[in-house]
Structure 1
């Protein structure tokens, strides 16, 4: 089936336009056999048009409900176009991408109706939007914590001082037990607030090998667990040294890895995978970086409850019965100070934390 040439746009120009589009375009005839796909579609499906020419639509496009042909056949019959947004489209390599898919019935030169399908991958836009939301959440939480810290620490200091003075005036040593409780609890609350605020000094940035830092964290967690858990390494040796505060990166990674180890501690088949990769021309928030190091910490535990996934990095949010919900908040803060971000994706049997760190001298914040 040949595309019908308009009176204003020559066929050669139409072809050049299609071949330079960033969205994938596919053309099917009335029998839903592939007649054309542009280079963007070849890249998306990782196949060549030459090998796919004449194949049925379902060999490329798989609707989530498995009704690809029925949906497209309906568009042919009615002649109405439709758009499906944020579809999870499976690819031949087993991966999934999120796309907007538009189906447009068109008539060829012989009067038969075919379908023009445009597929626009929106993973990047969704990811950037999610990252901006994470950064906004973290900034809002930090502002709230700073305000609360001022209001809490001042009266705590007064309570502690009053308890110390009272202790000096007591004649009965047995009563000092009660003043010590007041002093100790005041100190505990002050330390909790300080932990929520994070470090009060600028990062000490030095060139560091990320795999050396990961090995320190891995060995520490194995020592704490008595080596009962399995931690698999999948490192990319091409990652250059990063310009980071080693102590803070170790603390951030340790907080995440300890959570993963706790999650699989009762699972005899539990495992954690530490993976590093280099990402090129990658955007974190609204800033694009030439090189970004991606550190993945993946476990095969039960997954994070859906009720807390969206607020996982808020203070005092935890799925653990014995946790206080500060580990991930602190990890996010420490990574943010390096111009990076911590992301999380979770489902039953798989939880992946991705730590993203710019490689080239990021602008650290205090």
Structure 2
């Protein structure tokens, strides 16, 4: 985010910031109607962007609106198909889990039972499940998105964290009837009915994804305890974790695509403590002028908190994971000569 006393530059805006500007330009009524169809993560990210958006010039607003209109015009032939809606939302909002938004729009899914937890603050969910059996907690966290599950896990008592992660990693699906029973138990604390269709929760990949979102020190502590208790399981989780250094394994075209979604401020912070190979990977996939400006910004930036650097790196990784899931990024290979 640019500072409030600086003029906003459309070229450096993230997807969430562009979405915020677009919604704010529509007025309260229309913006509220759109937000009703968005998932909890989308609402939180766009809402945060709105709260931090100020001093936006008319030129920037027009640039955002024109970009949105161009996207609609370019894909109008898709005529309302699910692919069209998903791609439009991904590019217009730049948010994770576009499929969840599609579900809400096309299928009218409501937030009940387990699904309602996705709308709750991590602290509230942690209080709700704190006294449950570790296996129940593992199932609940497996059902949630990685970043929310990580926030909840960090609030739970330290002595239980590694046990819960091991249970998540050891989950090999769950019977639909058992998941529905858990859903009904939670539903009684709220309202309505819910239909749980998927039993594919848990596993080492889920555990790795949750740990990816945790603070570095907490993540290391949990992994040490897991490897001490079960070395093979710990190694399996570790191999599936996606860390900042893994960006060097993304092909060049993918890096160029990724950089379009990351704000300049986040990128500078993320690279402050990055390995030189990662920095060079980023530099070589930018235009000469852009890479020189980034190098200057890195040199000019004074000491920063390690926690701020880790937060910025995790933000970049979250975007990268979302783009990998949608097929926009690939590991390895060579990219083209496109520049950002």
TMscore range, shorter length: under 0.3
More helix by share: 2
TM-score by length of 1: 0.21
Q: With CA pairs under 8 Å and 6+ residues apart, which has the higher RCO, 1 or 2?
A: 2
TM-score for the superposition, normalised by structure 2: 0.22
Structure showing greater Rg: 1
Instruction: Return the structure number with greater strand share.
Output: 1
